[in-house]
Structure 1
Amino acid sequence: FAGARDAFERAADFCASWKEAGRGGLPSHEGEGLEDADFERFGFEPVMAWQSLPQFEMACVAVLNSPAVRRTAPGRAGLRDAVARAAELSGEPFQYLVYALAVLDEEPFVAIDRATGAGFALRASGIGDNFQLHTLLADALIGGGHLPGTAPSPEAAAMCRDLPGQTPTTGSFNLVGADGEWIWNEGNPADVPVVDGVRLLVLDPPPYERGWAAGRFFPGMTGDLVLERVLNAEESRALLAQVAQPGR
C-alpha cells in the first residue's frame, strides 16, 4: 500500500505537469503518446509511476480480497486519498481499486420497509457493489419470509457469497438513503448514509423491473449479509421518522 500510494501520488503530479505543459490527452500507460524527452521534462519517476498504475491497481485489489488485510493493514486511507487525486487529474476512475478500498466488514446496516414499517438489523462484510448488496438483502428479507415479494434464487444468493459464477436475477426493491436520495445499484455499500451509527436503507417498491447478473463484484472476495434481528415497531418508527422523502 505504501508503494502504491507513492506511485499514485507521483502519477498525479505527472498528470498535473502534463496538463500545465499543454500536451493534451494523457499518454497511455503502455507509453503511447510519450516522447523520449518527456522523461527529462517531467522526471523519470513520475513518468514510470504513471505507467505502473494498472499493475499497482491489480496488486492492491488482489490483497484486498483478504478480510485480514482489509481489517488490519495500515495505509488504506492514505492510498484512498492518493487514488482519488490521480483519478481527478487523469479522468480515469480506477474503479476496481476505489471499490476495493471502500469494502466494509462487520458493518451494521438497518433496512426499513417503508410500506409496512418493518425494520431489520443486519451486518455486511465483503460486499463489492450494491447489485450484490441488493441481491443478498432480498435473500435475507424476502427469502427469509420477513417481507412479501419474489426472492432471488438460492443459486443467485450463493454466488453473491462464495459460489463461483453469475446468474440472472431481478431487483426486489428501490433502495433509498436517509437523505431521500436513491442508492444506485452501480454504487457500493459505503454510499449508504449513516444514521445513529448504522447505515440506514429504506426499501421502496421498484419503480421499474430491472435485472442483472447476480454474483460478486470481486470474484475472489467472499461476501455476506447477515440478518441479526427484527426491530420492534418503536425502533422502526423512530428511524423512519428521520428519513426524507425520495428526491429522485
Structure 2
Amino acid sequence: MVAVIVGACVERGADAAACAPAVFAGARDAFEAAEVFRARWRDAGRGELPAHEGEELTDEDVERVGFEPVMAWQALPQYEMACVAMLNSKDVRLKAAGKQELRAVAARVEEASGETFKCLSYAVAVLDDEPLVALERATGAGFLSRMSGIGDNFQLHTLLADAGEAPSPKAVAQCRDQPGTTPTTGSFNLVGADGEWIWNEGNPSDIPVVDGVRVAVVDPAPYRRSWDAGRFFPGMTGELVLERVLTEAEAGGLLAQVAESVH
C-alpha cells in the first residue's frame, strides 16, 4: 500500500527517479516471496492458485504456506500498479537500477504460475531512443525513425500510419501525449523480417532486428482492422520521430534480408 501511495505521489509530480529504486526493490522482494508461496501451495496439494484478494484462503492455508509469502502474493497487483507509475518516466526507464532484476523475477512467477502481469511486462519492455526502420515492400522505400515510450503495437501502428487511410490528428495526438482514445482503422499490415505478422496486441520489443536495427515491413492490409487509438499507458508519453529517408541502396539491402509474409 505504501508503494501505491508513492506511485500516486509520482503521478502528481514527485521525483520518479528518486522513488523508483525502493519501489522496484520492494516489488522484487514481493515477487521472490510469491515464488515461495507458489511452491508451498503446490507442495501442500492445494491445486489452483487463489485469487490475489485471497477470500478463499483459510487460517490453515496461511499456517501451511507462511504469513509473509501469503501477503506477498496478495500484494503483487499493488506492486504492479506502483512500478508502472515509476516506469511512466523515461528517465526511470533509462537509468533506474533494479528494473531488469524485477523483470526477471516477475517473468519467473508468470511462467511458473500461469499468472499474467501484462502491465508490468509491457512497461519494463518499453523501448526508448530505439531506432526503427519501416520498409514499404511495394515501393522499396525505407524510413528510419526513433521511438520512445510506446506501450503496444496498436499505438505504434497509429503513429507509423502516414499513407492510405491515415489516422486523424486527434488519434495521433492521443498516441503521443493527449488523454483519451479515438476509433481508428488501420491502413496497412506490419510484418517482421522473419515474415511473421507484427501483431498489434504485442509491443515494439517483439519486432525482429536486422543489422542492429528493428525492421517493420509495411504491406497492404489483408482486411480492415479497427481499434481505439490511444496510449496503452496513459501516463507515458509516446514518441516516434522520423530521422531520415533511407537511400535506395540501404532500403534495398534490408528488403533483400526480409521474408515474405507467412500468413
Give TM-score scaled by structure 1 length: 0.94
Per-residue deviation at 1:90?
2.1
Which residue in 2 is equivalent to 1:126? 149
Alignment deviations for residues 13-65 of structure 1 (CA, whole Å, 9 cap, x no partner):
21122123221121121112211122221122111110100110000001111
Residue 102 of structure 1 pairs with residue 117 of structure 2: no
**Could you tell me which amino acid in structure 1 is paired with residue 54 of structure 2?**
G
| Matches for 1:48-197 after TM superposition, within 5 Å | 48-138=71-161, 141-142=162-163, 149-197=164-212
Aligned residues: 240
Q: Give the Cα separation in 2 of the matches to 1:94 and 1:210.
A: 26
Q: Is the 8 A contact 1:64 1:100 kept in 2?
A: yes
Which residue in 2 is equivalent to 1:209? 224
Q: Is the 8 A contact 1:27 1:34 kept in 2?
A: yes
| Unaligned ranges ≥5, structure 2 | 1-23
Which region of structure 1 is more displaced relative to structure 2, 84-93 or 208-217? 84-93
Q: Give the Cα separation in 1 of the matches to 2:42 and 2:56.
A: 14
Q: Is the 8 A contact 1:16 1:89 kept in 2?
A: no
Secondary structure of residue in 1 paired with 2:190: strand
Alignment deviations for residues 53-103 of structure 1 (CA, whole Å, 9 cap, x no partner):
011000000111111111110111111111111112222211011001111
Q: Give the Cα separation in 2 of the matches to 1:21 and 1:209.
A: 50
Q: Is the 8 A contact 2:191 2:197 kept in 1?
A: yes
Secondary structure of residue in 1 paired with 2:54: coil
**Which of 21, 28, 37 does residue 14 from structure 1 map onto?**
37
Residue 28 of structure 1 pairs with residue 51 of structure 2: yes
Which residue in 1 is equivalent to 2:242? 227
**Could you tell me which amino acid in structure 1 is paired with residue 30 of structure 2?**
A
User: Cα RMSD over matched residues?
Assistant: 1.0
Residue 4 of structure 1 pairs with residue 27 of structure 2: yes
Q: Give the Cα separation in 1 of the matches to 2:25 and 2:124.
A: 14
Q: Is the 8 A contact 2:44 2:64 kept in 1?
A: no
Q: Give the Cα separation in 1 of the matches to 2:25 and 2:103.
A: 11
Q: Give the Cα separation in 2 of the matches to 1:215 and 1:82.
A: 30
Secondary structure of residue in 2 paired with 1:176: strand
Alignment deviations for residues 173-212 of structure 1 (CA, whole Å, 9 cap, x no partner):
1111111111100000000011111111001111100010
Give TM-score scaled by structure 2 length: 0.89
Which residue in 2 is equivalent to 1:237? 252
